[in-house]
Amino acid sequence: MDAPTHPTLLESIAAWVLVVSFTLSLLYELWRATAKSGVSKYDSMRSFVSGLWLYVLATVVVILLFLGVPFAAWVGLVFAVLVIIASVFYYNPTMMLARKPGLFDWIEDLFYTGLTFVVAALLLLEVSGLTLA
């Protein structure tokens, strides 16, 4: 039987950053679905529930990273890059503008996207074989 694997430091940090990022995002989306319901077609409980698949996927990525699965860093890196692309090319120009964003909306978006960039950078270091010293 193979010995259990352990995540590297970079994988652990990336996993925790994803936890923070997606918790922030989930709470924000729930707030939009309740307190801002009806402002846009994206601000409803139906839209919130239909978007939960992303959080399930993020949870799977986090679990893989915390378990130290050999391919977890690659999965996390691809996931982070796809989330960044979706944020830059879909969420910001489409959803965000339709929501008539205020300062709080922009701050949440910057934190969420910024944290995802941090995850991508950490996991890029991991798959490159580089370490932080």
pLDDT digits (tens, 9 = 90+) for 43-76: 999 999 999 999 999 999 999 999 999 999 999 9
Nearest CA among 50, 73, 52 for reference residue 61: 73
d(CA 68, CA 15): 10
Rounded alpha-carbon distances, angstroms, from residue 98 to 4, 73, 86, 91: 47, 34, 16, 10
pTM recorded for the entire structure:
0.92
Q: Which of the residues in the chain have pLDDT under 70?
A: 1-4, 132-133
How many Cα atoms within 13 Å fall on the side-chain side of residue 58?
Answer: 25
Average pLDDT of every residue of the chain = 94
Contacts of 80 (CB under 8 A, 6+ apart): 18, 116, 117, 119, 120, 123
